[in-house]
Structure 1
Amino acid sequence: MEIFSTTDQDKIVQAISVAEGQTSGEIRLVVDRKVAAKSVVDAALGYFRKLDMHKTRLKNGVLIYLATEDHEFAIIGDEGISRRVDANFWDDTKEQMASFFRKGELVEGLVAGIHHTAEQLKRFYPRGVDDINELPDEIHFGKN
């Protein structure tokens, strides 16, 4: 899927890697061209399970799902992190990302969302000396 250049992919993966270097939380990005379900949230939830994000030890996985041609995205946090952040955290994160997306700055918006998410993850789930990277950092490109 040719949505991002190699350089853009490297920037996004680097942002995930840096974010996860500060927290025991896990962040994944899934990119489709079209929403892969009835709704963008359903698509995100489907990938959340498919990619085993619900199996992290501390239930602190976060998935960002982006459907580029449909101009839709969602952020799904597992129960551990969702229980701890302010009620408006996910909406605030989405709005921050959308402000970049509206200017055509897709990569910058994703990186901003990753960093914003990492701040909360590190607050509630700081990286421990025994932390392991439970999930891959690379972008998962869907088939849609």
Structure 2
Amino acid sequence: MRRLGRLWRHRWLDAGDALRLLGADGVERLQARIRASEAQHSGEIRVCVEAGLPLSYLWRDASPRERAVALFGKLRVWDTEANNGVLIYLLLADHAIEIVADRGVDRRVPPGHWQRVVEAMGEAFRAGRFEDGLAQAIDAVHEVLLAHYALPAGERNVNELPDTVVIL
């Protein structure tokens, strides 16, 4: 019965629900925030909001973390020169938040750091402030990337990945 309920939740929601949650203006503001952040460091930030898992993931009862790791690869977040990409992933149907950082970033982050970011996002989401929660997460990732991958004066980020918020 639990599996059927999960299947229903994931099939009920679609990308339109995810877009309505943030609004077109909210998506634009988040993308501008990513662009502004990446102008200061060599890291790459990707944000992905997915309404529900694909059937193949539901069929095998995959976790949100498994999907986030798969999207980390599909969105090429792993494919940065300095291994300094970070994916912020939100799965609406399961009310799940995942942060996946490439090895260059992950080894510089203290234990529990990403969990604290996820908890702060969860608080904002429970209050209905989805854009604010994602903005806070982008800012938290920005702080880590700026601390370890700040651009030298006069250097520009080559922007290896798109700054767009991915809505699935």
Shorter-normalised TM range? over 0.9
| 1:138 aligned onto 2:160 | no
The structure with the largest helix share of the pair is 2
The normalised TM-score by structure 1 is: 0.93
The normalised TM-score by structure 2 is: 0.80
| 1:22 aligned onto 2:40 | yes
User: 2:115 maps to which residue?
Assistant: 91
Structure 1, unaligned runs of 5 or more: none
Q: How far apart in 2 are the matches of 1:97 and 1:22?
A: 23
User: 1:117 maps to which residue?
Assistant: 141
| Pairwise CA RMSD | 1.3
Structure 1 or 2, whichever has the larger Rg, is 2
Task: Report deviation, 1:130.
Answer: 4.6
- The CA deviation string for residues 57-77 of structure 1, in whole angstroms up to 9 with x for no partner, is 000100011112321110000
Q: Which stretch shows the higher mean deviation, 107-116 or 14-23?
A: 14-23
User: 1:108 maps to which residue?
Assistant: 132
Task: Kindly provide the amino acid, as one letter, of the partner of residue 116 in structure 1.
Answer: A
Task: Report deviation, 1:30.
Answer: 1.1
Report if aligned partners of 1:25, 1:125 keep a CA contact under 8 Å in 2. Answer: yes
- The CA deviation string for residues 53-108 of structure 1, in whole angstroms up to 9 with x for no partner, is 11100001000111123211100000000001111111111112111111011110
User: 1:5 maps to which residue?
Assistant: 23
- The CA deviation string for residues 99-120 of structure 1, in whole angstroms up to 9 with x for no partner, is 1111011110000000011001
Q: How far apart in 2 are the matches of 1:39 and 1:69?
A: 12
SS at match of 2:159: coil
Task: Report deviation, 1:127.
Answer: 2.1
Report if aligned partners of 2:86, 2:99 keep a CA contact under 8 Å in 1. Answer: yes
Report if aligned partners of 2:39, 2:157 keep a CA contact under 8 Å in 1. Answer: no
Task: Report deviation, 1:18.
Answer: 1.5
The count of corresponding residues between Structure 1 and Structure 2 is 142
User: 1:74 maps to which residue?
Assistant: 98
Task: Report deviation, 1:27.
Answer: 0.4
Report if aligned partners of 2:43, 2:149 keep a CA contact under 8 Å in 1. Answer: yes
Report if aligned partners of 1:35, 1:70 keep a CA contact under 8 Å in 2. Answer: no
